[in-house]
Amino acid sequence: MADRGLSHPLLLAAISMCTILRVVALLFLGAPAADAQPDAKPWRIGYLSAGFQRPDLEKAFRARLRDLGHVEGQGVLIESRWADGNFERLPQLAREIVKLRPDVVVAVSGLEVEAVQRASTTVPLVMILTPDPVGRGLVKSLARPGGNVTGLTLTTGPELYGKRLELLRELVPGATRIGLLVNAGSHMTSFWVPPTEAAARTLGLRVHVFEARTRTDLDGTFSMMKQHRIQAVRVPSDPLFNGVRHVLVELAAQARVPVLYDLRDFVEAGGLAAYGPSYPELFGRAAEYVDRILKGQRPVDLPIEQPTKFEFVLNRKAAAALGLTIPPSLLLRADHVLE
């Protein structure tokens, strides 16, 4: 009896010790098991452009993503597609990106936004260079987009159209006949023409609209400008024009027509002048929208931003070739003067 009495508490103690050791072992072994789990699914970012690959702008986008902790190849995958100016390819490229089940898609302009929306009505979209997204029906308002689209717009208000015409008139004193080159195959014709004509009337200028649909149309367009005795020209940003900027600059030089562009790229290619938003700045801001969406915010809750930083760029060599003397007042106001 004594042996049985002694064994009972010993048995309980042994069982308790075994239980404790088992729990400790499970906890100890469980930690490595958790660490051994596969890494979390990487974020997948789609990137769609109707134009050509732009390493400088894409670099600005990726650099800002890195600043925000999203390093490509380290938890982030970027799936990029470019239409190279062939807009008919956009629907297929958009479908390719949507099939990859991206967490967010960066659509460079309105054309890309529309292409992705036709492929998916739910994937979050961040646009960058879309003029008048409200007028195009892409969002309900800038403050409250109301859907799966947010990001940035080139829309800044009517004063920008007048500002550009004023700069052109200062560059070419006495000019009254202004040409406006637009892509006839783009919906943006209706966006550029009426406000430019309205600003021209206020300044006492007359605007003549010239249309081109393809690269081959441009030769005849500049010949028509000479026939109409156009004294200066405005060329707004457009995927078609941006993709053949060297051709445009050369045709303008041959026709001896001063041109004010929207993008610094044209001036670096030999053009006379440009005034417009800083595109690297906009692409960097787009990365911030992507970051906010990846962290759980919804496009519907993110107001659309308008440009805040503008660049005025001049090219002395191009001015000299046209027989123009850039006024000192413009040189002082320029952000960059290329020699």
Conformational region of residue 274, where left means phi above 0, alpha means psi within -120 to 50, and beta covers everything else? beta
Banded pLDDT at 36 (limits 50, 70, 90): very low
**Residue range 19-30, pLDDT digits in tens:** 444 544 444 444
Q: Is the pLDDT of residue 18 over 90?
A: no
Question: Do 128 and 163 belong to one domain?
Answer: no
Q: Where are the beta strands (DSSP E) in the chain?
A: 43-49, 71-72, 75-82, 104-107, 125-130, 149-153, 177-183, 206-212, 232-235, 259-261, 273-277, 310-315, 336-338
- Looking up residue 108, the CATH number of its domain turns out to be 3.40.50.2300
Question: Do 190 and 140 belong to one domain?
Answer: no
State how far the Cα of 197 lies from the Cα of 203, in Å rounded to an integer.
10
Q: Contact, 107 vs 150, CB < 8 A?
A: no
Q: Contact, 187 vs 166, CB < 8 A?
A: no
Question: Do 140 and 70 belong to one domain?
Answer: yes
* pLDDT of res. 116: 97
**Residue range 66-114, pLDDT digits in tens:** 999 999 999 999 999 999 878 899 999 999 999 999 999 999 988 899 9
* pLDDT of res. 39: 56
Banded pLDDT at 294 (limits 50, 70, 90): very high
Domain total of the chain = 2
Better-predicted residue by pLDDT, 108 or 184: 108
Taking the model in full, what pTM does it have? 0.79
In a domain, 163, yes or no: yes
In a domain, 13, yes or no: no
**Residue range 185-244, pLDDT digits in tens:** 777 777 789 999 999 999 999 999 999 988 889 989 999 999 999 999 999 988 788 888
In a domain, 5, yes or no: no
In a domain, 220, yes or no: yes
Domain that holds residue 107: 43-155+280-301
Average confidence score pLDDT of the chain = 87
* pLDDT of res. 34: 37
With CA atoms as reference, report the closest residue to 169 among 160, 177, 181, 158: 177
Banded pLDDT at 136 (limits 50, 70, 90): confident
Quote the tokens at residue 281: 């700045």
Quote the tokens at residue 58: 């894409």
Q: Contact, 94 vs 83, CB < 8 A?
A: no
Question: Do 191 and 266 belong to one domain?
Answer: yes
Question: Do 284 and 269 belong to one domain?
Answer: no
In a domain, 9, yes or no: no
In a domain, 110, yes or no: yes
CB atoms within 10 A of CB 67: 12
